[in-house]
């Protein structure tokens, strides 16, 4: 699945689509987190592309999106999407306990 956000192409990995379906998170929710969320961690050494963890809130529910940056092809790749578990994350959902 692909869609446009600004001038960058967004691609969703099959794994991300599966997790979105399982967790009842819509494409619109994910795009909202990408556009308006806060980058809480960057993984510069990830292969084949650097990635980042973005935190956003949908109806007051925290959502994490892992997004890879393919600068060469001007695209972003949604790797996975999930609701962070309160027992694993601090109350801001920005740091693991």
Q: What is the mean pLDDT of residues 22-36?
A: 95
pLDDT of 2 higher than 90: no
* pTM: predicted TM-score of the whole model, two decimal places: 0.88
Closest to 63 in 3D by CA, of 15, 87, 31: 31
Please report which helix (H) or strand (E) contains residue 20, including its range.
helix 14-23
pLDDT of 5 higher than 60: no
Per cent of the chain over pLDDT 70 is 93
On whether the CB atoms of residues 79 and 63 are closer than 8 A, the answer is no
pLDDT of 93 higher than 70: yes
pLDDT of 56 higher than 60: yes
Domain spans in the chain, listed from the N-terminal domain onward: 2-82
* CA–CA separation, 34 and 44 (whole Å): 18
pLDDT tens track for 57-89: 999 999 999 999 999 999 999 999 999 999 999
* CA–CA separation, 79 and 97 (whole Å): 23
Q: What is the mean pLDDT of residues 22-41?
A: 95
Q: What is the mean pLDDT of residues 25-54?
A: 96
- Compute the half-sphere exposure of residue 85: CA atoms within 13 Å on the CB side of its CA: 3
CATH of 2-82, one of 3.90.1150.200, 3.30.2310.20, 3.30.70.270, 3.20.20.190: 3.30.2310.20
On whether the CB atoms of residues 82 and 93 are closer than 8 A, the answer is no
């Amino acid at each position: 699945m692909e869609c446009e956000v600004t001038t960058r192409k967004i691609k969703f990995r099959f794994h991300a689509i599966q997790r979105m379906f399982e967790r009842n998170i819509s494409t619109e929710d994910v795009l909202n987190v990408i556009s308006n969320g806060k980058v809480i961690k960057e993984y510069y050494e990830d292969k084949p592309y650097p990635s980042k963890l973005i935190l956003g809130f949908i109806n007051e529910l925290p959502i994490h999106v892992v997004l890879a940056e393919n600068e060469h092809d001007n695209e972003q790749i949604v790797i996975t999407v999930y609701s962070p578990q309160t027992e694993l994350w601090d109350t801001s959902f920005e740091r693991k306990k």
